[in-house]
Amino acid sequence: MAYTDSKSEFSIGFYRIVDAHGVGGMSPVSASATADWVRTADALKNVTTGASNWASSQNAAGDRYVTYQKPQRQCIAFVRNGPITNGQVNWILGAAFCRESAAPLSSNEAQFIADAVKVRD
């Protein structure tokens, strides 16, 4: 899912194994790999291409996210792993959001965005 207007843009990518048979799944995205995963996720490229100043952060609840910048836009992205079973996950959710602003996104705004996107199994 993607949306763009003159002041903001966002994209959400939901990667899911639909019908796993036997052993299988995806490796969960680690905190240290979040920025690289977001940069290379096909579903998020429309919001991450041309970005710079990537930085990893963590909110008060312990959720990890990355912030970055595009020309005249401040951005945030996060990755949420599905439940981990035997070191594997059946789904990974990635989301990226940019808005027109000279000021960086506040931690409260980052928390609101991360909380707004949920996955129901």
Cα angle for residues 110, 112, 115 (degrees, 5° grid): 105
Q: Above 60 in pLDDT, residue 49?
A: yes
pLDDT band at 51 (very low <50, low <70, confident <90, very high): very high
Does residue 109 have a pLDDT over 90?
no
Give this prediction's pTM: 0.80
For the chain, what is the mean pLDDT? 83
Buried b (16+ CB within 10 A) or exposed e, 56-66: eeeeeeeebbb
Above 90 in pLDDT, residue 105? no
Per-residue tokens: 29: 């995205």
DSSP 104: P
Confidence band of 2 (pLDDT split at 50, 70, 90): confident
Q: How confident is the model at residue 86 (pLDDT cuts 50, 70, 90)?
A: confident
> Is residue 97 predicted with pLDDT exceeding 80?
yes
Is the model's pLDDT at 74 over the cut of 80?
Answer: yes
Burial of 48 (0-12, 13-18, 19+ CB in 10 A): buried
CA separation (Å) from 118 to 41, 95, 107, 113?
A: 19, 11, 19, 10
Residue 80: CB atoms within 10 A of its CB come to 20
- Residue 60 confidence (pLDDT): 66
Most confidently modeled of 45-49, 60-64, 101-105? 45-49
